[in-house]
């Protein structure tokens, strides 16, 4: 089945630093990738939609300068949390849609970000 | 505003019990409804439903969609401790292809 790889799985950083999270579709081309944020015991909150070769579409309330998304190829999207602060600590998870079947959503394993 | 509501929020049962999880939605441009199981990290896909009244089954799990009443149910029979997880329901918007997630139902199965 389709596999989405997300790295790193866990990162601890100091306040003010930037953190890059990668999301790769391993055996299919992902024309669209989604980035979610999940707080403990809460559901997935969509942050942005990433389309290959174009600018990401951000949800209301999500700062595009804070959360930089790049989708340079059909198999890779990256999320960079710039100048991270403790309130950015969260579980970030990416998902990808198979561009050929355009069905189902496959999830990466998530990244637990802790900002000290 | 589009929304997806799941109930109950949490549930504790004993092994062998049957559970029914509910998902109701108000999504203007409905395309599909999906169920996922989230244990620790990545949600894993269970079912995708697009048509009313057609039950989908996978082992002890089954699901059905009612597009008239705008809800879906996920049934788990003969529950096992390994079924303990958060079950997420998501509805896909056919215009934007975005997925709107419900808050999830946290299921705990006791031995």
Phi then psi for B83, rounded to 5 degrees? -80, -10
C-beta separation of B48 from B36 below 8 A: no
The pLDDT assigned to A77 comes to 93
B68-109 tens-digit pLDDT: 999 999 999 999 999 999 999 999 998 888 899 999 999 999
Q: What is the dihedral of CA A105, A111, B1, B7, to 10 degrees?
A: 80
pLDDT tens per residue across span B5-50: 999 999 999 999 999 999 999 999 999 999 999 997 788 989 999 9
User: What burial class does residue B20 get, using C-beta atoms within 10 Å of its C-beta: 0-12 exposed, 13-18 middle, 19+ buried?
Assistant: exposed
Contacts of A45 in chain B (CB under 8 A): 101
pLDDT in tens, A93-112: 999 987 676 567 889 999 99
In angstroms, the CA B39 to CA A107 distance is 13
Question: Which residues of A fall below an 8 Å CB-CB distance to B?
Answer: 4, 6, 9, 32, 34, 36, 41-46, 49, 93, 95, 97, 102-110
Cis peptide before A8 (omega within 30 of 0): yes
Summarised one tens digit per residue, pLDDT across range A1-43 is: 668 999 999 999 999 999 999 999 988 888 889 999 998 878 8
B5-16, pLDDT tens digit by residue? 999 999 999 999
pLDDT at res. A99: 65
- Which residues pair with residue A7 across a beta bridge? A22
């Amino acid at each position: 089945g389709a596999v989405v790889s997300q790295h790193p799985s866990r990162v601890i950083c100091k306040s003010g630093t930037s953190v890059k999270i990668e999301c790769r579709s391993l055996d299919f081309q992902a024309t669209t990738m989604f980035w979610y944020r999940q707080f403990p015991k809460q559901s997935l909150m969509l942050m942005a939609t990433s389309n290959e070769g174009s600018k990401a579409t951000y949800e209301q309330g999500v700062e595009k300068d804070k959360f930089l998304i790049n989708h340079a190829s059909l198999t890779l999207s990256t999320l960079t949390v710039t100048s991270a602060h403790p309130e950015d600590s969260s579980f970030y998870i990416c998902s990808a849609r198979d561009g050929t079947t355009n069905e189902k959503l496959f999830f990466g394993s998530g990244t637990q970000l802790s900002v000290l | 505003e589009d929304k997806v509501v799941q109930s109950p929020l949490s549930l504790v049962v004993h092994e062998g019990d049957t559970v029914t999880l509910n998902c109701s939605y108000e999504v203007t441009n409905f395309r599909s409804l999906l169920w996922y199981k989230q244990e620790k990290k990545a949600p894993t896909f269970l079912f995708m439903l697009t048509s009313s009244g057609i039950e989908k089954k996978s082992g002890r799990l089954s699901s059905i969609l009612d597009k008239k009443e705008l809800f879906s149910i996920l049934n788990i029979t003969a529950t096992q401790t390994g079924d303990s997880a958060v079950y997420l329901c998501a509805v896909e918007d056919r215009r934007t292809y975005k997925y709107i997630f419900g808050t999830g139902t946290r299921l705990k199965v006791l031995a």
